[in-house]
């Protein structure tokens, strides 16, 4: 589902706040996240059932999207199995180190929740990153343990007339889940504004897929890419996603039933929405969205 691009470097020096640095904390994080898990809609075919079971799944294939980001396809137990995720959800991965410590980290699948027999992750690797390095080093046929789903935001078609998605780097993964679900459902008329920031054009993840959706439904999907290191022939927006841009290109805070979804590295949250305190505490709205008058109910931080 990805075009193979020459991804050169990543904008985000620290996308997503790492939830755990040690195995002990990782285990705690696992049970913390587990409390947010929910039982899948389709229990018969679902591989991840919202229980406390780790399921070992084989890596089917992987390909480089850039020098530090890979798309990885994992095989589900049978060709008819589904993963068991609803939009928007994440899952937990686990491996056991040679010394016997558990390493646990969350990731956000980008494949269609209804797809059968396999699912896909996009993972950026960090030089000292325990899980991301481990995942990048997996060979075809190797297994990784999975548990979930972790429901992040239960999407309801047409609940909001118009939403704004603001993301950076690998923070696109949950935003892309929302875009895909809305696009797939012809009854869902929610209008979507996506503002997506990266360093260079090669760092933009899922661009072909997002562009195809926006091209097919230009009245519904309004997409703007931002680069802070643009090339001379870049035709999108330059610099960071600004308060002025958000103000001029998406519904104001006093619009009817407005919602803004944000995902990116900690400095990005700080600038756009204010920090997220923990998986269960969204924290106060700060940054650009606060200046634009948005309140806590109107902003969701993934």
The residues that touch ligand FAD, with contacts defined as CB under 6 A, are: 13-16, 18-19, 21, 90, 105-108, 122-124, 126, 128-133, 170, 173
Q: How far is the CB of 172 from ligand FAD (least distance, A)?
A: 9
- CB of 138 or CB of 258, closer to ligand FAD: 138
107 is in an annotated binding site: yes
Q: How far apart are CA 19 and CA 15, in angstroms?
A: 11
- CB of 226 or CB of 269, closer to ligand FAD: 269
Q: Residue with the closest Cβ to ligand FAD?
A: 129
262 is in an annotated binding site: no
Q: How far is the CB of 26 from ligand FAD (least distance, A)?
A: 8
22 is in an annotated binding site: no
- CB of 108 or CB of 200, closer to ligand FAD: 108
Q: How far is the CB of 59 from ligand FAD (least distance, A)?
A: 15
Q: How far is the CB of 36 from ligand FAD (least distance, A)?
A: 10
105 is in an annotated binding site: yes
In the annotated binding site for FAD, the residues are 105-107, 122, 124, 130-132, 173
């Amino acid at each position: 589902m990805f075009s193979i691009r020459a991804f050169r470097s990543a904008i985000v020096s620290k996308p997503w706040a790492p939830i755990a640095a040690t195995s002990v904390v990782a285990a705690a994080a696992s049970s913390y996240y587990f409390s947010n898990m929910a039982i899948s809609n389709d229990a018969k075919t679902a591989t991840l059932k919202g229980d406390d079971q780790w399921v070992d799944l084989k890596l089917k294939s992987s390909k480089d999207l850039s020098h530090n980001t890979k798309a990885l396809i994992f095989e589900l137990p049978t060709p008819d199995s589904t993963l068991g995720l609803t939009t928007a959800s994440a899952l937990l991965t686990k491996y056991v180190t040679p010394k016997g410590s558990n390493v646990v980290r969350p990731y956000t699948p980008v494949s269609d929740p209804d797809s059968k027999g396999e699912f896909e992750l996009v993972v950026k690797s960090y030089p000292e990153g325990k899980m991301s390095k481990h995942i990048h080093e997996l060979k075809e046929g190797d297994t990784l343990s999975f548990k979930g789903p972790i429901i992040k935001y239960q999407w309801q078609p047409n609940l909001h007339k118009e939403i704004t998605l603001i993301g950076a780097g690998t923070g696109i993964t949950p935003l892309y889940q929302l875009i895909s679900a809305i696009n797939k459902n012809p009854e869902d008329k929610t209008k979507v504004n996506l503002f997506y920031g990266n360093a260079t054009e090669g760092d933009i993840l899922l661009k072909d897929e997002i562009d195809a959706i926006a091209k097919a439904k230009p009245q519904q999907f309004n997409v703007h890419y931002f680069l802070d290191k643009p090339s001379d022939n870049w035709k999108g927006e330059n610099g960071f996603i600004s308060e002025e841009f958000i103000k001029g290109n998406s519904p104001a805070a006093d619009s009817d039933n407005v919602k803004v979804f944000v995902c990116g590295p900690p400095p990005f949250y700080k600038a756009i929405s204010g920090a997220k305190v923990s998986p269960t505490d969204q924290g106060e709205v700060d940054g650009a969205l606060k200046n634009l008058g948005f309140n806590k109910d109107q902003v969701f931080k993934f």
